[in-house]
Amino acid sequence: MKKKTIFGKLFSKKEVVIKEVDNSKIITPGQAVFNNFKSNKLAVTGLFMFILVVATVFIGSALLKFDENYVQTTLQNIAPGANYLKAPASLNGNVKKIVSGTSFSYAIDKSNKLHYWGVDVDGALKVPEKLKSKSFSDIAVSDNHVVAVDSNGELHLWGNNSGRQLELDEVTERKVSTGQVKKVIAGRLYSGVVMENKQIHVWGTNSLEQIALKTDWKTRVVDAVALPENIILLLDDGSVKVTGINILSSSLPESLANGEKKVVKIAGAYLNGLALTADNELISWGGSHRGLEITKQYDKKIKDIVGGYAVFHILFEDGTVETLGTTAVYGEQLSVKENVDTIYAGYFQNYAVMKDNTIKPWGLKGFLLGSDEFGRDVFVRLVHGGKTSLLVGIVAVLISTFIGLLIGTIAGFVGGVVDNVLMRFSEIVTSIPFLPLLITLSSIIGTRLTQNQRMYLVMVIIGVLSWVGLARLVRGQILVEREKDFVLAARALGIRQYKIILKHILPSVLSIAIVNMSLSYGGMMLTEAGLSFLGFGVMPPTPTWGNMLNGAQKAEVIQFYWWRWVFPALAVFITVLAVNLAGDGIRDAVDPKANEK
């Protein structure tokens, strides 16, 4: 066998093996940042939380109807709950009477036992233990107290006594005890009874007019409807009388007051009355802006009329129902319109007993997060207020980022006198007390602006005064970047300075700006919340999480109405925490050392 010489070995053909590169292991800088961020579980959790908050706020605000000027003091400071309409199942086919207050209801079943459901605002509205075994013939409720008469004719009163509506004087108590109670009534600050002998007795504080002063009325009453500020009376001659001095009493038609029209049934809403005559004619009076006026008469025989706070229900003999009222905002318009046997209406809760004896409720189900001092839904305001708070933070961050990038880039790239002037100016801005200046500018300028303009002003002020930190970071980074070879090469090629800044240097500092934006956003939100909390930011009735917290300055709110400050505080806390967790994750992800893992 012929051996190869050394030259043969050198010049002999060899098979060259080229190993293929695994492209799957090559990642772009963006992919590296994404992978680093994804591996940080806290950062991912924070991002998920923030996305959830944003989705809830912006989608919720688009779906939830909201009128920032709406108030309903009757529903003020009601604790969270959503069971206002959940009548006990045992009442199906067993209802004798249902009455409703603002957030609770009572019923008397056919065995004369009491049933209670809903939210107890004052903590004293539930059936007292000593009365649970008693039988009752009638019951009435206001927004804060209960009046009931048992089967023995004895009166029982419980709940709020701020108007002494639970206290009968000796004379009234003697008169009530000597006769048989036909019906009990309850107004906001008063209680009363209608007797079988047509006498009526009222006690408590009726700030408008005591019915007892009308001597020609008090012995002729066959029915009475108690309203917050009035009592509508049906007298034995078919005439109608109204206590009080507001529009409900002053607008009473003469034909009803003098008995020309013989009335057989009466009903009342807050400032409206409705009467049904013996000729099947409906006559309304009172406020003219709530859609409760009778504009047509009906050929069908009317069986009953009932009123809630902002609606009238007309029940016909054939079981159909028509509802009047355009200012009802809690779904009081009837959803069941046939096969109805009886209707009961309270403040904002309504119940229809169907011909098959089942109960169909509708109206105010409750406030998921409670109501505030003006009776406004805290959940709805929290969602719409979050939209304002989030937008203020976003716009303020964008403004501060733009100014910071602009000043930092110019100072770092140009250098010299320009750098010195800009940095001294930034030091002057830093030396100004931040929060006092915000408060001063907001109070001086904001008083001349509308609500929307004031909101934009807060955005601009926060953004304009928050750019210094980013400007210094960008300046420091550009001082390093401008000495690198790719910048020197661009200068040598004669590329203009602004193009070098925009196309070569600025992209290298954007990561710093993004990280700063994510970390600053939470601070911007806290600043807006602090301003609004102190009364110098976005002002009510436009809601923000900050001005919703304003009520927490009162000891009464902190102690008794915790939902008014706990939920806005949680919203701020969760959002800022989520933003900071995500911001920290972005900062770690763009860190070159993190990419070496």
**Residue 583 maps to which CATH number?**
1.10.3720.10
**What is the rounded average pLDDT of the residues 7-14?**
54
Output 125 or 105, whichever has higher pLDDT: 105
Q: pTM of the prediction?
A: 0.81
Percent pLDDT > 70 in the chain is 91
Q: Which amino acid is at 261?
A: K
> Which pair of structure tokens corresponds to residue 60?
């919720």
The contacts of residue 493 (CB under 8 Å, 6+ apart) are: none
The contacts of residue 207 (CB under 8 Å, 6+ apart) are: 189, 229
Does residue 496 lie in a domain region?
yes
Q: Running DSSP on this structure, what letter comes out for residue 333?
A: S
pLDDT of res. 558:
86
Does residue 577 lie in a domain region?
yes
> Which pair of structure tokens corresponds to residue 184?
């009990």
Output 280 or 122, whichever has higher pLDDT: 280
Does residue 488 lie in a domain region?
yes
Does residue 417 lie in a domain region?
yes
The yes-or-no verdict on residue 515 having pLDDT over 90 is no
With vertex at residue 514, the alpha carbon angle to CA 512 and CA 516, rounded to the nearest 5 degrees, is 65
Percent pLDDT > 90 in the chain is 41
d(C-alpha 30, C-alpha 49), whole Å: 23
- Dihedral (C-alpha) 583, 586, 591, 592: value to the nearest 10 degrees? -170
Residue 408's domain comprises: 32-61+377-596
Between the CA of residue 85 and those of 116, 340, 352, 364, 555, what are the distances in Å? Answer: 11, 18, 12, 7, 32
How many structural domains is the chain composed of? 1
The yes-or-no verdict on residue 440 having pLDDT over 60 is yes
Q: Scanning the structure block, which residue is given the tokens 């994404």? A: 34
The yes-or-no verdict on residue 535 having pLDDT over 90 is no
> Which pair of structure tokens corresponds to residue 565?
């400050």
The yes-or-no verdict on residue 208 having pLDDT over 50 is no
Mean pLDDT of all residues belonging to the chain: 85
Does residue 565 lie in a domain region?
yes
Side-chain-side CA neighbours of 278 within 13 Å: the count stands at: 8
Between the CA of residue 266 and those of 291, 304, 472, what are the distances in Å? Answer: 18, 9, 76
d(C-alpha 547, C-alpha 531), whole Å: 8
pLDDT of res. 123:
73
Confirm if 114 and 131 have CB atoms less than 8 A apart.
Answer: yes
Confidence of residue 349 (pLDDT cuts 50, 70, 90): very high
Confirm if 85 and 350 have CB atoms less than 8 A apart.
Answer: no
DSSP 3-state assignment of 551?
Answer: helix
Among 206-210, 265-269, 440-444, 521-525, the least confident range: 206-210
pLDDT of res. 25:
59
The yes-or-no verdict on residue 300 having pLDDT over 80 is yes
pLDDT in tens, 152-207: 888 999 998 988 899 887 877 887 877 789 999 999 889 999 999 998 888 887 54
Does residue 407 lie in a domain region?
yes
Does residue 94 lie in a domain region?
no
**What is the rounded average pLDDT of the residues 240-262?**
91
**What is the rounded average pLDDT of the residues 6-10?**
53
Q: Scanning the structure block, which residue is given the tokens 């509802």? A: 323
